Structure 1
Amino acid sequence: MFDIQNYASFVGAIFVFQLIPGPGTLAILNATARNGVAAGLGAVMGTLLGDMVYMVAAVLGLAAVMHSVPALFQGLQWFGAAYLGWMGLQLLRKPIADVSGAPEARKSGWVYFRQAFAVSLTNPKVVLFFVAFFPLFLRADASSLTLGVMMAHVTLLSFLYQAALVLVGNAVARKLSRLPWVRRLATRAAGAALLAFGIRLAFDNR
């Protein structure tokens, strides 16, 4: 669909990545817990903008590689499968620590937008992730338009998940944060899913 191979796996992988607590997720939950929905949505937009900057950088590089060096593009596909598997193993081995936050004075959504944008830009591993992730679901003859469609998918699905996290899931997440076994189970499940995605896509790219 949309010239994206393994479309169901592509969409599923995006949701799995959203479920992995990262700096952006923590910034969104922190903003919502401290100053409500408006602050949380501001953090969502800042996180998405930061991811978009890295996505554009990754896509510009991939578009050049796809058309000029097909062998290197295939190598990126294998690298992407290995990278997913490595991320999964890291999550399976990761210790789960308790996190707590201190009260904060009321601030506007714009403040949290800037904070989340800065947090997103201080994580340059995101561009490595997109360089590894996108080739897994591209054919070597795919057009540049397909990369744009993939970016739109990532942005839209990320927004839907993060907005739901703000509007519905924040109160639940705050309660679950006090239950280490729940966070441990979620982290291990995400790790197993990423490892499975990496193995499956490695076989698909043979």
Structure 2
Amino acid sequence: MSISFLLTSLIVVVTPGTGVIYTMAAGLSRGTRASIVAAIGCTFGIVPHMLAAITGLAALLQASPLAFQILRYLGVGYLVYMAWNTLREKGGLTVDERTAPQSAGKVITTGILINILNPKLTIFFFAFLPQFVDPDEPNALLRMSGLSLIFMALTFLVFIGYGKFASAIRQHVVSRPSIMAWLRRTFAAAFIALAVRLALT
């Protein structure tokens, strides 16, 4: 493992995306535990992309425009759904303390779906991992698996950091409905922006 791999991975992980938005929304609405659960879901959502890259499915997706388009628009549709759900049902940003919390399973499932339906992750792994693996290396498959696990660990730790920050400022914003309403609109707009960016990629 090289320093360049760690730095590049860290830059990619720290850059805000759908997973970060979802984890912060969970932290703002239900505190640290919910943000950790969301981070777990988003991290597990990386696994299919990692396996796709390692087994060569990513190459098939690149070679098949139809497969890529289907996966991409599934992702776009899900992001739009997340935006609509955030506005309609207040999504993860529910200010009413009497509202029953979402189950850990539901939070994890949503986090997994958010990252599964992001084909850019598959393409990223396909283009990213080979740069740090010698093609003549006898254990290339094992090395790619190890690097992928390190990437996942970085994702989990960074997302927890985002979630803890969100939960730390939670009490300062939950008591102010106008701020929470603004945050709901902001998160919904962010999901829409990510959907548009994915659709135009």
The alignment of Structure 1 onto Structure 2 pairs a total of residues equal to 135
Contact preservation (8 Å) 1:38, 1:109 = no
Aligned residue for 1:149? 146
Q: 2:158 aligns with which of 137, 156, 161?
A: 161
Matched, 1:50 2:40: no
SS of the counterpart of 1:141? coil
**Amino acid aligned to 2:164:** L
CA contact under 8 A between 1:47 and 1:116: conserved in structure 2?
yes
Q: CA deviation at 1:49?
A: 0.9
RMSD (CA atoms): 2.7
Deviation at 1:172, TM superposition (A): 6.3
Query: Which whole-Å CA distance do the structure 2 matches of 1:37 and 1:109 have between them?
Result: 13
1:125 aligned onto 2:120: yes
Task: Name the counterpart of 1:11.
Answer: 6
Give SS of 2:23's match: helix
User: CA, structure 1 residues 31+25, in 2 after alignment: closer, same or farther (shift >3 Å)?
Assistant: same
The amino acid that maps onto 1:165 is Y
Runs of 4+ in 1 over 6 A off after TM superposition: 172-175
Partner of 1:116 in structure 2?
Answer: 111
User: In structure 1, what is the Cα distance between the partners aligned to 2:144 and 2:11?
Assistant: 20
Which residue identity lines up with residue 154 of structure 1 in the other structure? F
Is contact 2:26-2:163 (8 Å) kept? Answer: no
Question: Which digits, 9 at most, give the CA deviation of each residue in 1:40-59, with x for residues without a partner?
Answer: 11111111111011101111
Contact 1:28 1:166 in 2 (8 A): yes
TM-score by length of 1: 0.58
Unaligned runs of 5+ in 2: 60-85, 174-181, 183-201
Q: 1:129 to 1:170 in 2, by over 3 A?
A: farther
Percent identity reads 25
8 Å CA contact 1:41–1:109 kept in 2: the answer is no
The partner residue of 2:30 within 22, 28, 35 is 35
